[in-house]
A = this chain, B = another copy of it.
Amino acid sequence: MPRITAEIVTIGVELLKGSVLNTNARFLGKELTESGFQIEAQVTCGDSLAAIEECLALALARADLIILSGGLGPTPDDVTREAVAQFFKMPLVFSKSQFASIQKHYRRHGFKSIPDQVRKEAFYPENAVPLLNRFGIALGFYVRCGNRLIVVLPGVPSELEKMYHNEVRPLLKRFFKKMVKRPALVAKTVGMSEPEVMQRLGKDFFKEPFDFGIYPETGEVSLRMYAERTGVLQRLKSKIKKRLKPALYALEDVTLAEKVGQLLARKKHTVAAAESCTGGQLAAEITRIPGASRYFKGGVTAYDNAVKESFGVGRALLKTKGAVSKETAAALACGAREVMRADYGLGITGIAGPTGGSSKKPVGLVFIALSSARGTQVRKYLFWGDRSQVQAKASKKALELLWRRLRGVS
């Protein structure tokens, strides 16, 4: 069955110039993929009538659904509604209900009258159907064009996201009745490289037809598969379970920090961290998860040696073995566990760079220790990359060590 295709057009010079990150394209890509659309392209163009019209013409030639976002603001450089109207040779008309909604919005924020230029926000092309925006002042709208649909949304991410959920998703369900949502399979692995994952999956993994994506990201590799039939995914799933077992931490879309949190919460265990070179990143990753207070006791960023000392790392040890050593990592992990009365203690010490490295202890050298009632294990790593990569890889590796202990593999 041919798939229903979509194209995403994001509008704004701030996107072209890289002044802001294009989170709307990502949001729409993810949502439309989940709903079963095949995304043909994502295009970003500037705020000009000609550029928007050109993008619209191109998109109409290759996609069933086109979502445009951005360029609906009140300032003169916002011309998306004008471009769409001009493309269809249609005049702009005034929406009374949107104007009332704008008035309400301004009153709620303590304004007595609406600035003149904001009146513009209540206009839409005559062949369009307005999509009310309850979360801001820019009106959205859609245009039917034969069997194709053009949806125009404001560029402010929070408004776009809410309008998508409230207005656009129901519209798409009504318009594209034949839409087939393809079942998806997600697999998340840690501690295995992309080539290694591919090698373990083997050639016969790919003998049945399905859509496959492999995404490496800081110590992890994620797999995403879509197939027309559920049977195919079932077979893939059982192969993945067997072949990627040492690295597989989830068959759903969760992060490693979430997974570790789930395991800790289920076992009613707690963890504490003592970090040097990662400088708080491990604690920040753990506490980004809602409900982390159930299992995270706390963390210490022991940057200064005096702070390491006050945290159970003996001065003699620091002198003889050095701050970056197996022994210091172990002392940090034990210190974290004991001082904060946690079941598990994680200790990280290393050289994140760019300076501070030597031939014996180069930039990227990191010791990570995990301490529990069963004892303390320390691992040595040589991470490759710049400061931020070394920090990110070390934090991830610490989570991986804890995950392995919790799942009972190592």
Contact = CB atoms under 8 A, between A and B. Distances in A.
A340 B307 contact: yes
Interface residues of A, number: 96
A364 B337 CA distance: 30
Interface string A10-44: 00011111111111011111110100000111111
A304 B340 contact: yes
A301 interface: yes
B304 A298 contact: yes
Contacts of A40: 16, 45-46, 51
Interface stretch (A91-99, A167-175, A276-284): A276-284
A337 to B, nearest CB: 12
Interface string A88-115: 0000000000000000000011000001
A2 interface: no
Nearest to A277: B287
Contact of A280 (B213, B299, B304): B299
A388 B290 CA distance: 9
A224 interface: yes
A53 interface: no
A198 interface: yes
A158 interface: yes
A42 B41 contact: no
Interface stretch (A141-149, A237-245, A379-387, A399-407): A379-387
B17 A39 contact: yes
Contacts of A27: 18
Given A15-B29, A17-B213, A341 B42 contact: no
A39 B15 CA distance: 10
Classify the secondary structure of A's interface with B.
mixed
Interface stretch (A70-78, A227-235, A260-268, A370-378): A70-78
Interface string A343-357: 000000000011110
Contacts of A293: 303-304, 356
Given A18-B25, A213-B13, A194 B292 contact: no
A164 interface: no
Nearest to A211: B13
A214 B73 CA distance: 11
Question: Which of A23, A270, A299 gathers most chain B CB within 10 Å?
Answer: A299
B217 A20 contact: yes
Contact of A199 (B30, B115, B292, B307): B115
Nearest to A27: B18
A276 B50 CA distance: 49
A286 interface: yes
B30 A341 contact: no
Interface string A285-300: 0111011110011111
Given A280-B282, A287-B391, 11 more contacts: A17-B33, A18-B31, A21-B21, A25-B44, A279-B288, A280-B280, A298-B300, A298-B301, A299-B301, A299-B303, A307-B339
12 contacts: A19-B222, A21-B21, A40-B46, A41-B43, A115-B199, A278-B287, A287-B301, A290-B355, A292-B303, A296-B304, A298-B304, A310-B339
